[in-house]
Amino acid sequence: MKRNNVKSFQLTVWSYWKENGRHDLPWRKTKNPYKILVSEVMLQQTQVPRVIEKYKSFLKKFPTVRALAKAPLSAVLKEWSGLGYNRRGKYLHDAAKEIVGTYRGNFKEALKHPPARTTVQSGGLPGVGPYTRSAVKVFAFNEPEVLLETNVRTAITHHFFQNKKNVKDESIRTIAELAAKGQDPRTWQSALFDYGSFLKRSGVRNNHRSAHYTKQSKFDGSLRQVRGAILRELQNGPKNQRALHVGHRMSHMFEKALEGLARDGLIKKEKGKWRIA
The answer to whether residues 124 and 185 belong to one domain is no
Interval 160-172: pLDDT, tens: 998 888 899 999 9
Residue 215 lies in a domain: no
3 versus 34: which is more confidently predicted? 34
The answer to whether residues 166 and 233 belong to one domain is no
Q: pTM of the prediction? A: 0.84
State which residues form the domain around 161.
Answer: 3-23+145-209
The answer to whether residues 42 and 125 belong to one domain is yes
The answer to whether residues 155 and 58 belong to one domain is no
The answer to whether residues 115 and 163 belong to one domain is no
The answer to whether residues 41 and 84 belong to one domain is yes
Catalytic residue flag (residue 40): yes
User: In the beta sheet, which residues pair with residue 239?
Assistant: 274
Residue 160 lies in a domain: yes
The answer to whether residues 19 and 61 belong to one domain is no
Answer yes or no: is pLDDT of 183 > 90: yes
Average pLDDT, the chain: 89
What domain count does the chain have? 3
Residue 60 lies in a domain: yes
The answer to whether residues 88 and 59 belong to one domain is yes
Residue 45 lies in a domain: yes
How far the first Cα of the chain sits from its last, in Å, is: 52
Interval 185-238: pLDDT, tens: 999 999 999 999 999 999 998 877 877 777 666 777 778 888 888 888 888 889
| Active-site hit among 40, 79, 98, 145 | 40
